[in-house]
Structure 1
Amino acid sequence: MKTLKLSDFIGTINGKLLQGNPDDEIRKIVKKANNLSEHSLYFHSGKKAIRDDCLLGKTNYTVVTEDQDILSKVSETASVILVANCKDSYWRFIDYYRNQFQIPVIGVTGTCGKTTTKDMIKHILTRTMKVHSTLFSQNGLHLNLHYLLGLNEQTEAAVFEMGVAYPGNIKNSGKYFKPTIGIITNIGEAHLEGCRTLGNYIRAKGEMLDVLSDEGILFINADDQNIKTLPIASFKGRVLSFGKDPAAEYRAENIQFENNRMLYTLHVENHEYRVSIPGYGEHNVYNSLAAIASTTVLGIPIEEAIQRLSTYRTMERHVKIYNGAGNITVIDDTWSCNPSSVKSAIDVLKKTSDGKTEVLVLGKMQRLGNQVSKQHIQMGKTIIDVGGVDHLITVGSSARLTGESAIALGMSPDKVHPVMDALELEAKLAEIRKEEMMILFKMSLGKMDPSFRKVVEKYRFT
């Protein structure tokens, strides 16, 4: 966090200094009174009074409050700022702090690819810039303040994931981050337990249009049908697209899978570039297009962005391919599981199996709310539509619906294997094991018993 003096922002938050020195410094903000320490700032916006024991032995802190009676509780070395509306003052402070940094801030949202796109952008920029970003896939709203305060005098650019669990999430994150560039990677079926309907979810993703200023730049996936339903024409900033569509400003063609890399030709205006990125899957082509496009508008030459991206390291458990014992190949895509990512992973399986026996191990698709049964049944049709697999192992009662759907649509029942726990999964894999086999593990391991991870690791490393 950039160090501030109380005098820097008291007027901005409509505060009155009841006690303390205007030159006192703030070096961090805390969310709870019991976390107060020297040079920290706490906004007391709750209705309950701060407990005396939270303040015992603490000095040189600052409290912003509506409660004038707090003066009888605080240390003589503490500063107290009285405000009429603490929540309003908090947001005024957030606005003030973000405006201290006139830097490019990239906000990334989408059903799939947020983390990879964010990390690709950071990888491209960090060679020449000091970049701050969200960590891994941790994009919960409770982390927004932490990430905002990560901006300091050395920061030259920032890239933040902006997730959606409920409508209004991106608007909330936008208040903290104020992105100057927005990216929507794609919009599929996900987080329906909070958004309830796909329409609500699409609109929630579309809040990116609201949080960008009229001078902002929006990058969208030109091939995504749900994105096309957003009111893009109403956005007053600049809109650029990426994808395979002939009209995309950043267009990919001649896409190839080769030696655990994706190769493609990038067309920008009247120029062609050959791109090579680590990892498999057309979804990563889209992620790389968004990364190249967004860093190009920040002044990184396209050739340089492509060269930097060639050394990007793919994330663990994100369509990661391993060669196991013999000719068994494992695709570990167990970070998360939703309909869009399942389709992408199956595409990789189909395009890389090269005659090997194809095995799909499918767990429950997460965060689908009342759509959970419908989406699992629909996935059975998706599997059949892409040509099926040699063996489908479904894990749990929800995924079992996918197997039943596939059978109803013509898949042989002796090729569909429902299991309920890790022991059954391991036994079934041993039963159908062949020397030349490719296994796609598509599950959200973080939501499952740890014993399932041991099964995946057994096949990855033996």
Structure 2
Amino acid sequence: MTTAIIHQRFLVSSGISTDTRNIKPGSVFFALKGKNFNGNEFASQAIANGAICAIVDDKAFALNDKEYIVVNDTLEALQKLAKFHRKFLGIPIIGITGSNGKTTTKELIYNVLSKKYQVTATQGNLNNHIGVPLSLLAMDEETELGLIEMGANHPGEIEFLSNIAMPDYGFITNFGKAHLEGFGSLEGVIQAKTELYRHLKENKKLIFLNLDDEVQRLEVNYNHTFTFGSNRKAQVKLTYPENVDSAELIFNDTRFTSQLNGTYNAKNMAAALCIGLYFKVPFEDIKNAIENYKSSNNRSQIVEGKNSNKIYLDAYNANPTSMMAALGYFENLKTNTTKIAIVGDMGELGAASETEHQVIVNFLENTNISEIYLVGKKFKKTTTSRPNIIKFENTENIKKHLKLAEIQNSSILIKGSRAMALENILEVFV
């Protein structure tokens, strides 16, 4: 009953607010709590700043019955409201998860589907137990399709988010060595990510499946699928050109060339193509949407720098799988310029951290990359006998070095975890 009452308030509001520093006038404020803050303490400020209603879980902060609603737990109330609203709208929802490339894939799919439908998608990477409810609550009666990204670093989280979003369709980009600290192993990653597929199977919903991914083929074991890949049994049969520098694919004798670096992004393009075809987006619109997509969030960006330098920026996140994919692509990059790799620490690897960082260094020792810079305390602990592998403890130190080095006519890969903030190096080159 309380959720229905909150939903009534929500429907006449301007949306949801969770931070009094940027209250939307006319919004419903949820007094969320964290390790270092208690949103209940700011409820009255939210009302003063223009919120029409404050949801609190401490009755001491409910100053009246008109503007305040007391619940047992504000986060749980937000999640229940999101699920209620999802049922209220009744629109098709596509769920996306995976170890690598899920945000880029989500944005490609959004670009494609938006050519025909009114689509509301997860903003940025708001893909957790708070972000998914907020994404659902950003949808309204004009929304024709919802696109929800789901992230996780522990078992059970994708299942939990799936129970809130109740997707009608789902896609997993891949399984990789990400968040090993929470999942324990690659097998743990696979079990956790496939919680999305298990939810879809239990509810007889459709799975978009990359038939080139052997692990996914084995895990799905389900007939209600729409498939793509170079596999001859794929419903959307395509090929991936070899010896190319950008992400490309060929479908029905038509070549798609994206503005993303890394041939590994071709699989993300293929997923967007597959889903666009399923939802009957006109073919030329699909092609234009994929080819005109530009990443602007430090993911797979190509930046033309000064002194004839070209920067391949992929500094939003990193794990052993995505790192090896980026380095493999960069090693095979055909260029007459000097190759320089700037590689930052990978996070959330737990007990595997030391081994996985050393594996990366061992790989780098045998590449054709002319100059290699390792950045971070974890890479600092690795061992190498190659003299052109230079270590820096942090981003600021390598920035100082690069400013003095006066690098020119080079191809430069920048790859590392979010915590390393390697995108700050970009100012040296542009």
TM-score (norm 1): 0.76
The one of 387, 397, 405 aligned to 1:414: 387
- Equivalent in the alignment of 1:177: 165
User: For residue 411 of structure 2, what is the aligned residue in structure 1?
Assistant: 438
Aligned runs of 1:225-240 on 2, under 5 Å? 225-230=214-219, 232-233=220-221, 235=222, 238-240=224-226
CA distance in structure 2 between the aligned counterparts of 1:443 and 1:131, rounded to whole angstroms: 31
Is the counterpart of residue 458 in structure 1 residue 428 in structure 2? yes
Which structure 2 segments of 5+ residues have no match? 10-25, 33-39
Q: Does 1:447 align with 2:419?
A: yes
Alpha-carbon distance between aligned partners in 2 of 1:453 and 1:94, rounded to the nearest angstrom? 34
CA contact (8 A) 2:228 2:235 kept: yes
Residue from 274, 279, 282 that aligns with 2:263: 282
The question of whether the paired residues in 1 share the 8 Å contact of 2:314 and 2:414 is answered with: yes
Pair 415,171 (structure 1): closer, same or farther in 2 beyond 3 Å: same
Between 372-381 and 33-42, report the one with greater CA deviation.
33-42
Identical-residue share of aligned pairs (%): 23
Change (3 A) 1:88 1:143: closer
Structure 1 CA distance, aligned partners of 2:239 and 2:361? 30
Per-residue CA deviations over 1:403-445 (Å, capped at 9, x if unaligned) read x25x4xxxxx22111122345424554676654322211122x
1:397 aligns with 2:377: yes
Q: Counterpart of 1:457 in 2: which secondary structure? A: helix
Change (3 A) 1:8 1:333: closer
Provide the residue aligned with 1:138 in structure 2: 126
Question: Aligned partners of 2:197, 2:155: CA distance in 1, in Å?
Answer: 14
Matched residues in 2 for 1:257 and 1:105: separation?
37
Matches within 5 A, 1:136-285: 136-212=124-200, 214-230=203-219, 232-233=220-221, 235=222, 238-255=224-241, 261-266=246-251, 271-285=252-266
CA distance in 2 between counterparts of 1:434 and 1:152 reads 50
The range that moved more, 192-201 or 308-317, is 308-317
**1:257·1:280 contact (CA, 8 Å) conserved in 2?**
no
Give RMSD over aligned pairs: 3.3
Q: Secondary structure, in 3 states, of the residue corresponding to 1:179?
A: coil
What CA distance in whole angstroms lies between the structure 2 residues aligned with 1:221 and 1:161? 18
Please name the residue that 2:272 is paired with.
291
Return the alpha-carbon distance in structure 2 between the equivalents of residues 87 and 324 of structure 1.
Answer: 45
**Local SS of the residue matching 1:312:** coil
Aligned partner of 2:343 in structure 1 is 362
CA-CA distance at 1:391 after TM superposition:
1.8
Query: Deviation per CA, 1:322-371, whole angstroms, max 9, x where unpaired?
Result: 23233322211111111122122223323435132211111101111111
- Supply the distance in 2 between the matched residues of 1:253 and 1:147 (Cα, whole angstroms): 34
Contact 1:328 1:435 in 2 (8 A): yes
How far 1:166 moved relative to its partner? 0.5
Is the Cα contact below 8 Å between 1:112 and 1:186 reproduced in 2? yes
Task: Tell me, yes or no, if the aligned pair for 2:7 and 2:85 is still in contact at 8 Å.
Answer: no
Residues 254 and 110 from structure 1, CA distance in 2 versus in 1: closer, same or farther, beyond 3 angstroms? Answer: closer
Match of 1:77 in 2: none
Decide whether aligned partners of structure 1 residues 375 and 223 sit closer, same or farther in structure 2, where only a CA change above 3 A counts: farther
State whether residues 79 and 130 of structure 2, in contact with CA within 8 Å, keep that contact through their aligned partners in structure 1.
no
Q: What SS does the aligned partner of 2:309 have?
A: strand
Structure 1 unaligned blocks of 5 or more? 10-25, 45-49, 67-85, 408-412
- Paired letter, 2:376: G
Is the 1:322–1:330 Cα contact (8 Å) retained in structure 2? Answer: yes
Q: Give distance in 2, aligned partners of 1:330 and 1:249.
A: 37
Distance 1:150 1:427, change over 3 A: closer
Normalising by the residue count of structure 2, what TM-score does the alignment of the two structures yield?
0.81
3-state DSSP class of the match of 2:160? helix
Q: Which amino acid aligns with 1:362?
A: V
Q: Is the 8 A contact 2:75 2:130 kept in 1?
A: no
Rounded to whole Å, the distance in 2 between the matches of 1:314 and 1:427 is: 27
CA-to-aligned-CA distance 1:42-83 (integer Å, 9 cap, x gap) = 485xxxxx242x1225624444569xxxxxxxxxxxxxxxxx
- The corresponding residue for 1:55 is 62
Say if 1:43 and 1:90, in contact at 8 Å, map to a contact too. no
**1:205 Cα deviation (Å)?**
0.4
Given the superposition, is the C-alpha separation of residues 310 and 143 from structure 1 closer, same or farther in structure 2, using an over 3 Å criterion?
Answer: same
Q: Which residue of 2 aligns with 1:328?
A: 309
Helix, strand or coil: the match of 2:88? coil
In the alignment, residue 205 of structure 2 is paired with which amino acid? Answer: G
For residues 104 and 317 of structure 1, what CA distance do their matches in structure 2 show? Answer: 30
Secondary structure at 1:414 match in 2: coil
Whichever residue aligns with residue 160 of structure 1, its letter is I
Q: 2:261 & 2:319 partners in 1: Cα distance? A: 18
Question: Deviation per CA, 1:133-164, whole angstroms, max 9, x where unpaired?
Answer: 11112212122222221222111111011111
After TM superposition, give the deviation of residue 167 of structure 1 in Å. Answer: 0.4
1:427/1:211 Cα in 2 relative to 1: closer, same or farther (>3 Å)?
same
State the Cα distance separating 1:112 from its structure 2 match: 1.0
Contact preservation (8 Å) 2:212, 2:231 = yes
Partner of 1:279, secondary structure, is strand
Answer yes or no: is the 8 Å Cα contact 2:62–2:68 preserved in 1.
Answer: no
The residue identity in structure 2 corresponding to 1:425 is: I
In structure 2, distance between residues paired with 1:7 and 1:430? 55
- Residues 331 and 368 of structure 2 are in contact (CA less than 8 Å); yes or no, is this contact kept in structure 1? no
Paired residue for 2:295?
A: 314
